Amino acid sequence: MAETKSYYTIETDGTLLCQKCKVPLEKADAVFSYLENAFPVELPVCPKCGFVYVPEELALGKVLSVEKVLEDK
């Protein structure tokens, strides 16, 4: 799969801080995977420790609906 494709992108504005590394999270490549299916996305990630943040709206919105679709596959 072409690495450039991304199913979902969240822009960062510097308001999210990694509590451990004390640096702002930055938009970076990440992958969601579920039941042997993977989706490249761009999420806020700590540039130092790699902590990937999944905001509540995303978890209960898009992520949940894709989970449900895959569960019924």
Partner 1 sequence: MGVMKEHFKERNTRDYHQKRLFTKEELEERESLCVHEQSPFCSAACPMKLDVRDFVRRMAAKDFTGARAMLERISPFPEILAHGCSHPCEAACRMGEAGESIAIADLERVAMFLGAPKKGKGLLKFKKKKRAAVFGGELFTLVVAAQLADKSYPVEFYVEAGDAESLLKQCAPFLSEEILASAVRRLQSMDMKIFYGTDLSSAFVEEKRGAFDLLCAAGYLAKESPDADTLLGKDGILYPSEEGGECLRTFYDARRASVSADRLAQGLDPSTMRGEEGTVTSRLYTNMGQVEPSKRIPLRGEGEAYDGEKAAEEAVRCIQCVCEECLKGCTYLRHFAKHPRILTREIYNNTGIIMGDHMMNKAMNSCSLCGQCAVTCPNGYDMGEICRLARENMVDTGKMSLAVHEFALQDMLFSNTEGFLSCVPKGQEQGCRYVFFPGCQAGAVASEAVLRAYRDLAGRLDGGVALMLGCCGAIAKWAGRRELLNEQKDFLRQEFGKLGSPVILAACPTCRKTLEEEGLGQVKSLWETLLEIGLPEGSACHEEKVVLHDACGARNDQKMRQDVREIAGRLGFRLLPAEWEGEKTSCCGYGGLVAYANREMAAEMAEDCRKEFPDAPYITYCMACRDRLARQGAQSMHLLELLYECPAGTPPDISEKRRNRLLLRETILREFGGGDDMSPAGNGCASPEEMGFRAVITEEARRQMDDRMILDTDVWKVMGHYRDTGEAVLDQRTGLLIARLRIGNVTFWVKFTEDGAGYIIRGAYSHRMLVRTR
CA quadruple 12, 49, 39, 67: dihedral positive or negative?
A: negative
Residue 32 beta carbon to partner 1: minimum distance, rounded to whole angstroms:
5
- Chain residues binding partner 1 by CB under 8 A are 3, 15-20, 25, 28-37, 40, 43-45, 49-54, 56, 59-60, 63-64, 66-67, 69-73
Q: Are 39 and 70 in contact (CB under 8 A)?
A: no
Q: What would the two tokens of residue 46 be?
A: 């700590």
Q: What would the two tokens of residue 36 be?
A: 């042997």
Residue 5 beta carbon to partner 1: minimum distance, rounded to whole angstroms:
12
Residue 45 beta carbon to partner 1: minimum distance, rounded to whole angstroms:
6
